[in-house]
Amino acid sequence: MLVTIRLFARLRELAGASELRRDLPPPATARSAWEAIAREFPPLADHAASISCAVNQEYAKLSTPLAEGDEVAFLPPVSGGAARERPGGGAGIRSQEGRSSGGFPVLFRVPDSLKHNS
């Protein structure tokens, strides 16, 4: 079955492409799509434990079945940043700013009660 595989950020860099079309043997899942491209591009395998996936633009588990013509996307985790006080953050709330692995700015609001190092 023919599926479209989309890769983002570091995964795209490792594969050298943002979109791949692959013919997968049925029954295919998002996991089997990942395994197929990890065999083709071995450096991707290092990210297997931390990726997220989406099937047809909906977040999905790796066990999600695929059908002919489906699109499966693989995304690395978002990381980085530094904590700092922000005006209007509210009592006991600090913001975490940084950049995703794709270079996009991100902002997370983390209550102090959930922080390990205040």
Instruction: Walk me through the domains of the chain, giving residue ranges and CATH numbers.
Output: 2-75 (3.10.20.30), 82-114 (no CATH)
Predicted structure pTM score: 0.66
Q: What tokens does 95 get?
A: 């913001």
Mean pLDDT, residues 4-28 taken together: 95
Q: What is the pLDDT of residue 108?
A: 52
What whole-number distance in Å separates Cα of residue 37 and Cα of residue 55? 16
Q: What is the pLDDT of residue 106?
A: 53
Cβ neighbors of 39 (< 8 A, separation 6 or more) are none
By CB atoms closer than 10 A (0-12, 13-18, 19+), residue 76 is buried
- For 39-88, write each residue's pLDDT tens digit: 999 999 999 999 999 999 999 999 999 999 999 999 988 665 544 444 44
What whole-number distance in Å separates Cα of residue 52 and Cα of residue 60? 8
Q: What tokens does 118 get?
A: 């205040």
